[in-house]
Structure 1
Amino acid sequence: MVRILQGLLVAIGILAGILLISNLDKGIDVISKTEIQVVLLPGGTLQNVVDSFPGTQITNAEAGYVSVPADKKQELERQIARHREVQLTLPVVTTPSFDFKRYTEAVKVQFNAYLDGDFGMIGYMSRPEPLPITDSLPEMLKRSLSYLAPGLFLGIALGFFAALLAVWKPRAGKFLDAGQGFLMSLPDFFVVVLLQFIAIAINKLAGSPVIIIMQFVKQTPLLIPMLAISLLPAALVYGTLRIAFEREWDEGYIKTAYAKGLSRPSVIFVHMMRNTMEDFLTIIPRAVSVALTSLVVVEVMAGIFGLGGYAVNQSIAYVTSLATTCAILAGFSLLVQGLFAILRSRVVVSAKEGA
């Protein structure tokens, strides 16, 4: 019960953190509270304008900046804009500052919007009116999961079986160790670029686009996102299990097993796998987090309209729903964390054998 409460508190904390962080930009104020810019009509003079409004003062005649009392700024700005010598008034951009009151109001507004079922909007270049994120969310989820789920499963399976091969065949292990070190040294975006270059080369050799590189209308890449998502989790799982297997070789039960005449494969599959199960279950949530990061990167670079890449899609003018999609991805990660925490507490204890 205590662990469940701890998990719930962690989940609530993460979701609250997403809400707070997603509104930070709304608390940053770059508009001066005491200055406005006055654009004059031909023949107008800034001094005449200032003389007409007590409490105002010229701060930069060349730029047309006029200082006004902070508590009367909005009222004076409207009045100055109607002056016979003024064409229009503009805000003055100043050094950014953080307005906590403005920030808390923004958080409150968004929280109330969530309670009312408004989870954000998407503004399209081709549409005059924005659409709620809920209209696009089912398609975005389907698209992202189409390569996230198989890519994650492929990565975990590759890492697991590569680690078994490395401990079974030490010569192959040296080659796999080098490959794992190389993959772990590469940033996510470089992996995606490398896969795209390979796909371009294959397409040229084939004489036709056999591998989709970028999303085009309804054509969504599958192979490149799936591989990009799977490679780094595979390297992570491999490295963790490789260390775990090396640790187990020094345990006394290995020597006992060899003394009983068991072969190397028997020792690996019967004994070592059981005692490294905890390491495997522990690294899976981390592999999921890496896969989600790769998902965002590959969707951005491949122009895919999914949970991670829609905000920077060329057809999107603006979004107010990033907190919603971030919460969905975080929720997926938290769900995996919870499931594997349960598995570690119930499966590992009953499966692991002593030395």
Structure 2
Amino acid sequence: MKSIGRWLLLGAITLIGIFLLSNIRQMFLSVQPDQIKVTVNASISMQKLSEMLPGSKILNEKGGLLEVPYGKFWEYQGTAMTIKGVLRSAVVPLEKPIISWRYYGYTVQDQLKGFLHGDFGKYRDPYTRKEVPMTTAIPTMLLKTCTYFIPGLLLAILLSILVALWASISRRVGAVLDGIHALLVGLPDFFLIVLIQLAAIYATKILGHYVLLIVQVGERTPFLIPFLTIALIPSVTIYGTLRVAIARELGQDYVVTALAKGLTRREVLVSHVLRNVLEDVLAILPRATTLALASMAVAEAICGIGGLGGFIILPIYQGITSMSAICVVLGVVAMAFHILYALLRKRFVVRAEEAARP
């Protein structure tokens, strides 16, 4: 029970940290948080406008400056534009950006109040220009992301294990694969994604007809590019770990004994070594999953996909009133995989102290 409580506490602290960090941009202010500037025609006076905006106060009638409740400048600026007689409404820029802990605290507190009342923010659909509640959008985003994230991660695990075994069976193949691995380790994620996109474009050009979707078009979402990206990048990490683990096991006495008894190198790897490097696989999977999530976000941004990662990065989706809700969902997804790996380690990895018990 103590162990479960410790892990629950760690998970809660992690989610709180994600929530606070996802709001860090609110700390940097470039506009007055309690003022708006309006331009009106003769049909309405500043006094009348102030009365129609509860909580506002006239600061400069000629300049059209109004004081509004702290932090409500965007809300009041939008509301002012809906009032008849208002020609223009705008926020008031600061002379230079400042760091405001007060506004950061106000934003965090306001979001927490919304979360407690079931309001997780909204975003403006770039195609219909309508505001959509995040409670409706997040399940759709999560489903879209999982359609290529989970298959890509599973392929990464299977591919890296098979390739590592192949490299360990044949020294010549191993030298080639290790060279490719060293090259891929040094390449940035976005460069690999761009190479995959270019390959699709040139394939389309050579074949003379449409091959695969490169960017999201309406409801049509690219699959192959994010799928290959998620499969390729984590598999590089898993492959490197497995190569080291297999080399370690091949130097153990039981391998030498098995080879001396007439077993082939392939039989020893599949029957004995693979089972003993399972702990290494499960140990590297949390890091590989984190890399897969990061690669997913980059792939969605480059392909213009409105998944969990795309909503955080793409400029067309930056009208989200509560970005932290998506960041927390991503954190929950990562934690769910970490819990799964912990359960698998407890189920399949036998520790020496457990085996020694009567």
TM-score (norm 2): 0.80
Give the superposition deviation at 1:80. Answer: 5.2
Q: Deviations over 1:230-285 (max 9, x none)?
A: 10111111110000011112212111212222221121112111211110111111
Distance 1:323 1:204 in 2: 41
Partner of 2:70: none
Tell me the amino acid that sits aligned with residue 289 of structure 1. T
Tell me the amino acid that sits aligned with residue 6 of structure 1. R
Tell me the amino acid that sits aligned with residue 228 of structure 1. T
Give the superposition deviation at 1:37. Answer: 10
After TM superposition, the structure 1 = structure 2 runs for residues 232-243 of structure 1, keeping only pairs within 5 Å, are 232-243=233-244
| Residue 223 (str. 1) matches residue 205 (str. 2) | no
Partner of 2:131: 130
Partner secondary structure for residue 319 of structure 2: strand
Tell me the amino acid that sits aligned with residue 271 of structure 2. V
Partner secondary structure for residue 307 of structure 2: coil
Distance 1:36 1:112 in 2: 24
> Gapped runs of 5+ residues in structure 1?
40-73
Partner of 1:188: 189
Q: Deviations over 1:164-220 (max 9, x none)?
A: 101111111111111111111111111110000000111112211111111111221
Distance 2:261 2:344 in 1: 32
Partner secondary structure for residue 200 of structure 2: helix
Q: 1:194 to 1:79 in 2, by over 3 A?
A: same
Q: Deviations over 1:115-141 (max 9, x none)?
A: 111111101345565221122223222
Q: 1:91 to 1:244 in 2, by over 3 A?
A: same
Tell me the amino acid that sits aligned with residue 188 of structure 2. P
Q: 1:79 to 1:333 in 2, by over 3 A?
A: same
Identical aligned pairs, as a percentage?
36
| Residue 254 (str. 1) matches residue 255 (str. 2) | yes
| Residue 9 (str. 1) matches residue 9 (str. 2) | yes
Partner secondary structure for residue 262 of structure 1: coil
Q: 1:148 to 1:118 in 2, by over 3 A?
A: same
Partner of 2:329: 328
Partner of 1:62: none
Give the superposition deviation at 1:27. Answer: 2.9
Partner secondary structure for residue 308 of structure 1: helix
Partner of 1:81: 63
Tell me the amino acid that sits aligned with residue 150 of structure 1. P
Partner secondary structure for residue 213 of structure 2: coil
Distance 2:221 2:304 in 1: 9
Q: How many pairs does the alignment contain?
A: 317
Instruction: After superposing the two structures, state which structure 1 stretch, 112-121 or 307-316, moved more.
Output: 307-316
Give the superposition deviation at 1:314. Answer: 6.4
Partner of 1:65: none
Distance 2:215 2:34 in 1: 48
TM-score (norm 1): 0.81
> Gapped runs of 5+ residues in structure 2?
40-55, 66-87
Partner of 2:24: 24
Structure number, greater radius of gyration: 1
Q: Deviations over 1:280-317 (max 9, x none)?
A: 11111111111100110000000111111134546546
Distance 1:82 1:214 in 2: 45
Tell me the amino acid that sits aligned with residue 8 of structure 1. L
Distance 1:32 1:15 in 2: 30
Partner of 1:298: 299
Contact kept? 1:152, 1:229, Cα under 8 Å: yes
Give the superposition deviation at 1:3. Answer: 2.6
Say what the alpha-carbon RMSD is for the aligned residues: 3.0
After TM superposition, the structure 1 = structure 2 runs for residues 29-68 of structure 1, keeping only pairs within 5 Å, are 29-31=29-31
Tell me the amino acid that sits aligned with residue 298 of structure 1. A
Distance 2:325 2:22 in 1: 10
Q: 1:28 to 1:316 in 2, by over 3 A?
A: closer
After TM superposition, the structure 1 = structure 2 runs for residues 140-219 of structure 1, keeping only pairs within 5 Å, are 140-219=141-220
Partner of 1:264: 265
Partner secondary structure for residue 96 of structure 1: strand
Instruction: After superposing the two structures, state which structure 1 stretch, 321-330 or 106-115, moved more.
Output: 321-330
Distance 1:173 1:353 in 2: 35
Partner secondary structure for residue 92 of structure 2: strand
Instruction: After superposing the two structures, state which structure 1 stretch, 242-251 or 28-37, moved more.
Output: 28-37
